[in-house]
Structure 1
Amino acid sequence: MFETVRRLRRSARVARTGARIYLGYKRTQRRARKLPPAAAEAAWTARHEEFAELLYRLATDLRGLYIKSGQFLGTRTDLLPEPYTRSLSRLQDAVPPHPFPVVRRTIEEQFGAALEDLFAAFDPEPLASASLAQVHRARLPDGRDVVVKVQYPEVAGLVRLDVRNLKALVGIVARLEPNFDYRTVVNEIASQVPMELDFEREAEMTRRVRANLAHLPGVVVPAVVDGYVRPKVLVTEYVEGVRLLDAERRDAHAPDRAALAAAITNAYGHQIMVDGLFQADPHPGNILVLPGGRVALLDFGLTKELPDAARRGFARLVLGTANRDPGEILAAFRELGVRVRNEEPGALLATLAILFEPRPIDAPRAELRERNRALRSNPVEQIPGDLVLLGRVIGLLRGVCASLGTPLSPMQMLRPYAERALAR
């Protein structure tokens, strides 16, 4: 009974928030029509700021899929106004961990054994906590240091409820306001999360990507520990490194920033255009910098297999963008199922510059606002789910390249892999 009431309250809060945002924007729309342009833009910006913070609070309170969705949307500078991406990007570090007794209970239920029988040592303080799980450092009886990823016990049921709520909400908005149809985005999120909840699938994907990249210099994928995989618990080897955004310690490990950017770009270029199997949830927290300038890729919960046609279409888009060839870009867009409002060459190049050219992870707000204004002048009207995920990878790479001061754009750095993909 209590659980039913809790879920009803959760659904009601989502509905109230959605109604408040919709009605608030309708009021601003009516008011802005009567204002001079500068005042109208200020009114819209104030409303964006208000509702971006409202969604941030909703995500941090309800957690689960709302954290995951907010993290996803926080990377979509092509889709949302700057106040939203700025506010929602804070969700990368906003998830409080579950208490250790909950972690212990989950591990012992999954393995049918006491924690002390499974591990020689186990740190009760998590290394990190995310939207669906948290990770702890531990030591196996044979002395190996490992990382233990533990899924939150209630998250699977809540995610199913949240998917239904989000689909209903965006469906209503799409019918009322056809220009704000986010059903493709929500459907993509809804298709992703079940994969991330299956840790046995994640273990298999980790093994496959590790094998695919084994020959690539400077790239490490931590090994899965055999016998320590369950649907809600995954154990991998511990890798000592520093976070990509920890500039001082990162530069001590990798003083050659251009080589570091190349190693990261090569890892993703190979995954996407050679293997057709890639880590589709990239963000700086999933990349460690190791001594000697090597990089370690973490977290393969969302790993996607790319159909051959999409792989080749993306390779063509990379070459068209690197060559600044509007005809090639337009052909790639059509092959991939992308539709933009204005197909004039100058408009295409401007849109591609915004979507794919380097932008520092910590770019100033003024630059972000200018990019968003330019993109709104030629919006992307249709984009397939696979390309949404590929766009996230390019978003990470452009931020990395710009923040490391690399003179080349990700598309230029990916050119050799695109040429290789199209030559096969």
Structure 2
Amino acid sequence: MRKWIPGRTKYTLGGTLGILAVFTWDRHTEAQLLTRNVRTFYHGIALAFDYKLHGDDVTKLPALHERVANQMFDVFEKNAGLYIKIGQVIAAQSAVLPTAYQQRAKKLLDSAPAVPLSSIERVFLEDYGKLPQHIFKTFDPVPVASASIAQVHRATLWSGELVAVKVQKPAVRKQMTWDLLALRMLLHFYEYMFELPLSFTANFIERHIRQEVDFVNEARNGQRAWNNFLQQPKLRQMVYVPKIYGDISTERVLICEWVDGVQLTDTKKIAHLGLDYKEAMSIAIEAFASQIFESGFVHGDPHAGNVLVRNHPQNKRKPQVILLDHGLYVQESKEFRLNYCRLWQALYMFDLKTVEEVSRQWGIHDIEMFASITLQKPFSQDKAIHLQRTSIQEIYDFQMGIKARLKHFLEDQARFPQEMIFILRNMEIVRANNMMVGSPVNRLNLMAKWAVRGIDREENHDQQNRQLRLYQRPTHWVQSLAHFAVTKWRRFVFEFTLFMMNLSFCFVRVKQSAHQLLYGAPSQGFEELIDQRMKEQMYQQFGIVIDEHMFDA
């Protein structure tokens, strides 16, 4: 017995030292694959059990939120790479999250550190066989911006053109497969722990994230988006996508035209340019609405840093909106796009039959919840949309049963259109942009109008076919007249609802102006009123206090 124990101890010590040696080696590598994944699994499982064990005790919720937020965002910051992007997605939703999440999310927005010049030079040597100074006339070694997967340097081509050079951080591709595998496993784990439909989206999300790190694909996306805008008479002069030098770009280096502009939500700088920020916001919202409802090719990350404003080159008094970062796009199927257009029109016309038809077709069981998610405000089947004032009681009822409703939200996950994942993300970010500057634009009405434009384009094609059949068979006159009457009536109902929504919006804007005139500060905007009621109910129901000054910096 005495001879066996030292042997076991020896092997135990040897194994421990071996594991420590592997971890030490891994921590000094650029990718840190083992360290990052162990960190993810350990904290991911610990946080799930923490909420599972203590989430039902209201008195412990503030401490629980702070503990979980600190652990979660510590992991994002330490792992960096794709984890920064995941954390920034959560940060975009932070206005309705507990204070602890807001504070940590605010710090994460600037937590994408740049890599040293030596790493950037290694990418150039691997992709071009040359250093940056041999490819460009000038190349600024100090990046002007650093994001989760890449950083941007300013350079000049030998022709004299000023360009932005987006260089992928070298560790990203090494980390990506393992990061996505870890996140997929955590989705399955959380689905099991909380009985919520999560894992069915994994393949779709993974495919698009992989496309996002391919800069050749990003170049194609940018050119395609620009071609789509050129087909829109209303937008072709108001929206601009910088020229992409695809012939000299690679999968990890993207070279684009350098364009000066200010962020969409920087109202002071926009005013300094002599431009109206409300007009700029309206153009931006319409640009993304045109993608969702007409072209079907939709930008997946339209946050304010990717939407710039400048003086129009031909008319300095007018704004031109510049769209950047075309790595993440989703292509809607024609069937999905038309059904989504129909859904928006039906919600405004209180056509519950069509709402139910589309919802059932997509395997959605809870129609009211789906309508609320679509409009990003509580929806009731008992009142038309322009009569819905989103009372605190309605939000309370909505939140009380939200977890139980989520479990049964999808009757058939296989039928759910996965394009919706990124469409709703796009709409939420656009809503946050509008809200951040006081909701100067009636976003819902603008989007509804583009939804009808999407339907009209298809119906115009069908109308031409009907007219052709009409001349071939005169008995179709009656059918054509009936179709015309129904179409005109539906359009009247839709326009009336838009008019009533605009009245409500104008009332809020007048109230804002009057409040600013009397008290020196504007009152809440259209989007803020909904969020404020959500915040009030979050406090009443959960004891959560939302930090009003999260984005003051």
TM-score, scaled relative to structure 1:
0.84
Tell me which amino acid in the other structure corresponds to 1:193.
I
1:182 to 198, 211, 220: 198
1:311 aligns with 2:311: no
Q: Report how far residue 414 of structure 1 moved.
A: 1.6
Alpha carbons of structure 1 residues 244 and 77: separation in structure 2 relative to 1, 3 Å: same
CA distance in 1, matches of 2:396, 2:206: 26
1:360-399 deviation line (CA, Å, top 9, x unaligned) = xxxxxxx99x979844634553464311211111112222
SS at match of 2:248: strand
- Does 1:295 find its partner at 2:311? no
Distance 1:57 1:11, change over 3 A: same
Partner of 1:154: 171
Change (3 A) 1:376 1:131: farther
Pair 1:239-2:263 in alignment: no
Q: Superposed, which structure 2 residues align to 1:128-207 within 5 Å?
A: 128-179=145-196, 181-184=197-200, 186-207=202-223
Residue aligning to 1:23: 49
Deviation for aligned residue 1:192:
2.1
Which moved further from structure 2: 194-203 or 269-278?
A: 269-278
Aligned-pair CA distance for 1:109: 2.2
Q: What displacement does 1:152 show?
A: 0.9
1:82/1:372 contact within 8 Å kept? no
Q: Which residue of 2 aligns with 1:62?
A: 79
Alpha carbons of structure 1 residues 212 and 350: separation in structure 2 relative to 1, 3 Å? closer
Tell me: CA distance 1:109–1:24, structure 2 relative to 1, closer, same or farther (3 Å). Answer: same
2:370 and 2:151 map into 1 onto residues whose CA distance is 42
CA RMSD of aligned residues (A): 3.1
1:317-337 alpha-carbon deviations (Å, 9 max, x no partner)? 322344455444433433444
Aligned to 1:396: 429
Q: Secondary structure at the match of 2:272?
A: helix
Q: Which letter does structure 2 place at the counterpart of 1:67?
A: I
For residues 327-359 of structure 1, what are the alpha-carbon distances to aligned partners after superposition, in whole Å with 9 as ceiling and x for unaligned?
44433433444443xx46xx67655554599xx
Conservation of the 8 A alpha-carbon contact between 2:264 and 2:280? no
SS in 1 for 2:249: strand
Identify which of 34, 37, 43 aligns with 1:8.
34
Change in 2 beyond 3 A, CA 1:416/1:188 = same
Match of 2:359 in 1: 333
- AA matched with 2:40: V
**SS at 2:92 equivalent:** coil
Query: Which residue is equivalent to 1:277?
Result: 297
* 1:14 Cα deviation after fit: 1.2
Q: How many residues align?
A: 400
Partners of 1:148 and 1:235 within 8 A in 2: yes
Q: CA deviation at 1:301?
A: 0.4
Specify whether residues 348 and 61 from structure 1 end up closer, same or farther in structure 2 by C-alpha distance, changes over 3 A only: closer
What's the secondary structure of 1:304's corresponding residue? Answer: strand
CA drift of 1:7 comes to: 2.3
Aligned partner of 1:421 among 446, 450, 454: 454
Residue 326 of structure 2 aligns to a residue whose secondary structure is coil
The counterpart of 2:124, out of the listed 89, 96, 107, is: 107
In the aligned structure 2, how far is the partner of 1:303 from the partner of 1:352?
19
Structure 2: distance between partners of 1:212 and 1:131: 28
* CA displacement 1:151-200 (0-9 Å, x = unmatched): 11111121100111111222123223314x43245444322210111111
- 2:65 matched residue in structure 1: 48
Write the distance in 2 (CA, Å) between the matches of 1:78 and 1:310.
30
Once the 2 structures are TM-superposed, how far is the Cα of residue 419 of structure 1 from its aligned partner? Answer: 1.2
1:236 Cα deviation from its structure 2 partner: 0.3
Q: Which amino acid aligns with 1:422?
A: I
The answer for unaligned runs of 5 or more in structure 2 is 1-21, 312-317, 380-390, 411-415, 459-553
Question: Using the alignment, how far apart are the partners of 1:372 and 1:52 within structure 2?
Answer: 24
Structure 2 counterpart SS, 1:16: helix
In structure 1, the residue matched to 2:492 is none
Task: Please point out which of 120, 142, 167 is paired with 1:125.
Answer: 142
- The answer to which of 80-89 and 398-407 deviates more is 80-89
Q: Deviation of residue 76 (structure 1)?
A: 4.5
Matched, 1:223 2:243: yes
User: How far apart in 1 are the matches of 2:378 and 2:273?
Assistant: 28
- Post-superposition Cα deviations, 1:281-322, rounded to whole Å, max 9, x if no partner, equal 221110111123111000000011111111112212322344
Q: Which runs of 5+ in 1 are unaligned?
A: 33-39, 358-366
User: What is the distance in 2 between the residues matched to 1:171 and 1:78?
Assistant: 27
Relative distance call for 1:324 and 1:134 in structure 2 (3 A) is farther
Q: Compared with structure 1, are the counterparts of its residues 250 and 187 closer, same or farther at alpha carbon in structure 2 (3 Å cutoff)?
A: farther
Closer/same/farther in 2, CA of residues 326 and 129 from structure 1, 3 Å limit: farther
Separation in 2, partners of 1:411, 1:194? 32
Tell me whether 311-320 or 85-94 shows the greater mean CA deviation.
85-94
Determine the C-alpha separation between the residues in 1 that align with 2:199 and 2:98: 18
Contact 1:313 1:336 in 2 (8 A): no
TM-score, normalised relative to structure 2: 0.66
Larger proportion of strand? 1
Distance 2:75 2:166 in 1: 25
Q: Name 1:377's counterpart in structure 2.
A: 401
Q: Decide whether the 8 Å contact of 1:197 with 1:232 is kept in 2.
A: yes
After superposition, the C-alpha distances for 1:213-260 in whole angstroms (9 at most, x for unaligned) are: 135231010110143210100000001101123221022236423321
Deviations 1:39-78 (A, max 9, x none): x334224312321221111011001221122222333579
Q: Distance in 2 between matches of 1:176 and 1:110?
A: 44
